[in-house]
Structure 1
Amino acid sequence: MKKKYFFLTVLLLFVICSYLIGPLFPEFFTHIYNQKFYSYLDSFLHLISNIFPFSLGDVLYAVVVIYFIYKCFVLIKRKLYKDFGVFILTSVLLFFGIFQVFWGWNNYKFSVAHQLKLERSYTQAELDSITKKLTEIVNSQQFLITKDSLKEVSIDKDLELFNKTAKLNYTKLPDHLKEILTDNKINDVKPSFYSYLQAYTGFSGYFNPFTHENQLNIEIPTIGMPVTVAHEMAHQLGIASETEANFYGYKVMLQSTDLKFKYAANLYALKYCLKQYRYENEETYQLLFKRLNVGVQQNILESEQFWLSKRNVSSYFFKNLYGRFLKINNQKDGIQSYNKFVDLLINYNKKYLEI
C-alpha cells in the first residue's frame, strides 16, 4: 500500500512540475526534447504502428476505455471507494504524464513565428489585401479546373493519394520551414474507426500522441481532406500548435503539382480570412462572399452545411473540453488558436512574399 501511495505522489509531483516548469525552458524543448528525445521516440513508434494497416491507437483507446469503465464498476460494486478514488487519480495522472513525455512537451517549444522572426498582429489593410489576392487566386484556379465558374471543384476521396502527395510535398517545403520540423519518416494518415463520432463532435482528424499515428475523419467533405492530412502529419513532426499545424497543412498542399490540391490549400486559407470578417460584420462577409465564383461558394457551403448538420450538444461539449485541454497545454487561445492562422499567414507573407 505504501508503494502505491509513493508512486502516486511521485507521479503527481512529476505532472505538476512538468506543467509549471515546462513553459520556462523553450530552448530545451526546442533543441533537446523535440530534435533528440522526441525524434528518437517517434522513429521507434513508427516501426511499431506501421506494421498495422489499421489505427493501432484507435484500438488502444477502445481497450483502455473499456478497462477503465470495468474497473470503476468493480470498485464501486465492492464499495471500495478509497481504492476507486486512487484509481481515478492514478489514471488521470498517468494520462497526462505519458502524454507529456510522448508528445506534449512540444507545446513548450519556440513558436514558428519566433523561429522565423515574424512580426505579430496585422492591420485591417493587410487583411483586406491578402483576402483580395486569395479571392483572385481561388476564382482563377476554380475556373481553370472546371472551365465553368458555376461548377464546384470535386476531389476524389483517395487517402492513398493524399498521403503520397503530402509526404512528397513536405520535401518541397522551403528550408526555413523544414528546419523547424523533426527529420523523421512520416506515418500515413489512417482512416479513423471513430469517424462517424468525430463528425458529431466537430473534429476533422486527430494525431494520437501515444502511438504517433495520424487519423482522418473520412466523413468530412473531400475538398478539406488534403490539407487535413498534411495538418495531422505536421503534428507528428513536432508541431503542437493547432495554428501552426494549420499553416503547415496549407503550405504543404500548396507545393502540389496538381491544381486541385493547390486550390484546396488556397481555399482553406481564404476561408480563415473570411471568418475574420464574419466575426466582426456579417454584412461585410456577405459582400466578400459574393465576389467568389459560384463554384467556389458551393465548395464553402458544402463544408459549412456538413458541420451544421452534425452540430449538437456533444459538439459544443467536446469543443469546449478540447479548448480547455489546449489551454492547459500552453496553447493560451484554446480552441480559438485555430483562428490565429490568419496572423501567421499574413506575417509570413510579409516576410517571404509568396502570395
Structure 2
Amino acid sequence: MKRKFILPALLLFQWGIVSLIRFFPAWIETYYSQGLYPKIAYVLRTALGGLPFSVGDVLYTLLVLVLVHWFWKNRIGFWKHWKTHFWTVLSFLSVLYFCFHVLWGLNYYRLPLHEKWKLEKEYTYEELVQFTRQLVMQTNALQKQIQQDTTQAVRVVHSEATLFNMAPKGYAVLASKHPEFYYESASIKGSLYSLPLSYMGFGGYLNPFTNEAQVNSLKPKYTAPLTICHEMAHQTGVASESECNFMGFLAASQHPDVYFRYSAYTFALNYCLFHLEEQKAGSSQPFKKWINKGVLQNFKESKTFWQHHQTVIANFFEYFYDYFLKWNQQKEGLESYSKFIGLLINYNKHTSVFYAH
C-alpha cells in the first residue's frame, strides 16, 4: 500500500472500531473512562493547568492559520490535483479522529450515569411543581443572603481567576460522597474566544485535546460558577450534557461559597420554569410572582445577553452541535441539556439536593 493511503485507511479502520465499541459501554467504563482516561487527563491538566493562557485556543488558532496557508499555497491548480489534496485531508482527519477519541472522545460510549446510580429520568408534573417550589425558596434565601435586599440583582464580587481557583472545592465535597468524581490538578481558563463563543451561543466548552475547561468570560458572571462546574464534569470524563449539568449543579450547590450555590440554584430554577411552561402554558407565572425581584433581574440580565448575541451564526452552530451530539450517543441533541432536571428530581427523592449552609 502506498504511504499516502495508510492514514486514510486507518481512518476507516478507526471508524469501524468506534462503531463496534459503542456496543460495549461496560468495557469502555472499566478500561477507558475509569482506567486510561483519568491518567491522560491528569497528565494534560498538570502540564497545562498552570499556564496563564488557553493552550487549546492557541492551538486552534495555529490550526486555522496552517489551513489557510495550505489552501493559499495550493490555490493554483487546486482542482487539477484534487485527488492528492483529498488524500491529504483524509490523512489529517485520521490523525484528528484518533487524538480526539483517545484523549477524551471515548467517554461518549461509557455507561450512562443514571444507570450506574439507578436514577430514573422521568418525573410527573406534580413532582416538577414541588421541586420548583423548593428551588424558589432556596434561591430566594441565597439572593437575600448575598444582597440583603430582595430587589437587587446579585453581583459576584470574586474575580474570574478567583472563581477558577475556588471551583475545585465543590468537587471536593462531591467526591466525599461520590469518589469517582475526585478532581485534582485544575485546568480552568477564560477562553480567548469568548466573543465568538457568545455569538455561537456557548457559555463554555472543554478542549478535548488539552483537557482545559474553557469559560466564556463575557456572559453574566453570576452564571459562571455553574458553567465552570459543568465543564469540570466534562474533565472528569462525563460526556453527556445533561449529566454534566447534573454534576455541575451538585458540585456548585454544595460549594462553601454562596455565589457558587446561587449560580447553581438559579440555573436549575430557570430550567424548571421552562419545563413548567412546556407542560402547561402559564404554569410558571405563579412562581415568578413569588421569586425575589433581584433573582428575576439576574434572569433578565442573562436573557438580554444571549438575545443580543443571537444571530444566524448562533443558529448555524446550534444546528451543527445538535447534530454532533446526536451522532455521539445523545439522541436528544441540544435538548439533552435540560434533561438533567429529571435526574435532579429523582436524585432528590433519595439524597436531598437542598443543602443547609
Fold-level similarity (TM above 0.5)? yes
**For 1:222-253, what per-residue CA distance to the aligned partner results, in whole angstroms no more than 9, with x for missing partners?**
01001111111111111111111111111111
Distance between the aligned counterparts of 2:284 and 2:300, measured in 1?
14
- Counterpart CA distance in 1 for 2:218 and 2:282 is 31
Aligned to 1:272: 271
In the alignment, is the contact (CA less than 8 A) between 2:146 and 2:258 conserved in 1? yes
Q: Label 1:258 to 1:175 Cα distance change in 2 as closer, same or farther (>3 A).
A: closer
Aligned 8 A contact 2:11 2:90 in 1: no
Higher mean C-alpha displacement, 156-165 vs 128-137: 156-165
Q: Does 1:31 align with 2:17?
A: no
Q: How far apart, in 2, do the equivalents of 1:260 and 1:173 lie?
A: 17
> What is the Cα deviation at residue 175 of structure 1?
4.2
Q: Which amino acid aligns with 1:11?
A: L
Rounded Cα–Cα distance in structure 2 between residues aligned with 1:258 and 1:167: 11
Which residue does 2:76 correspond to in 1? Answer: 77
CA-CA distance at 1:37 after TM superposition: 1.1
Q: Distance in 1 between matches of 2:184 and 2:290?
A: 42
1:128 aligns with 2:129: yes
Note the 1:138-157 alignment, pairs <5 A.
Answer: 138-157=139-158
Tell me what 1:195 maps to.
194
Question: CA offset at residue 157 of structure 1?
Answer: 4.9
Cα drift, residue 301 of structure 1? 0.8
1:139 maps to a residue whose letter is N
Shift of 1:214: 1.1
Q: Which runs of 5+ in 2 are unaligned?
A: none
CA drift at 1:96: 2.5
The correspondence of residues 154-169 of structure 1 with structure 2, limited to 5 A, is 154-169=155-170
Alignment map for 1:330-349 (pairs within 5 Å): 330-349=329-348
Q: Which one-letter code corresponds to 1:75 in the other structure?
A: N
1:288 aligned residue: 287
| Superposed displacement of residue 57, structure 1 | 0.5
Return the alpha-carbon distance in structure 2 between the equivalents of residues 317 and 94 of structure 1: 26
Give distance in 1, aligned partners of 2:145 and 2:157: 17
Instruction: Give the total of aligned pairs.
Output: 352
| Contact 1:207 1:215 (8 Å CA) reproduced | yes
Q: Determine the C-alpha separation between the residues in 1 that align with 2:87 and 2:168.
A: 44
After TM superposition, the score normalised by the length of structure 2 is 0.93
| CA offsets 1:253-305 (integer angstroms, 9 cap, x no match) | 11222323222211111111111123344422333222211111101111011
Counting aligned pairs with the same residue, the percent is 35
Contact 1:272–1:341 at 8 Å: present in 2 too? no
The residue aligned with 1:231 is 230
Counterparts of 1:50 and 1:342, CA distance in 2 = 31
Q: Distance in 2 between matches of 1:63 and 1:309?
A: 29
Relative to structure 2, which stretch is displaced further, 206-215 or 92-101?
92-101
What's 1:352 paired with? 351
The aligned runs of 1:38-77 (5 Å cut-off) are: 38-77=37-76
- Give the secondary-structure state (helix, strand or coil) at the position aligned to 1:207: strand
Following superposition, the deviation at residue 326 of structure 1 comes to: 1.2
1:51 CA drift (Å) = 4.7
Any gaps of 5 or more consecutive residues in structure 1? none
- Which residue in the other structure is 1:3 paired with? 3
Scaled by the length of structure 1, the TM-score of the pair is 0.94
Alpha-carbon distance between aligned partners in 2 of 1:206 and 1:331, rounded to the nearest angstrom: 17
Q: Does the residue aligned with 1:172 lie in a helix, a strand or coil?
A: helix
Indicate whether 1:107 and 2:85 are aligned: no
| RMSD of aligned alpha carbons | 1.7
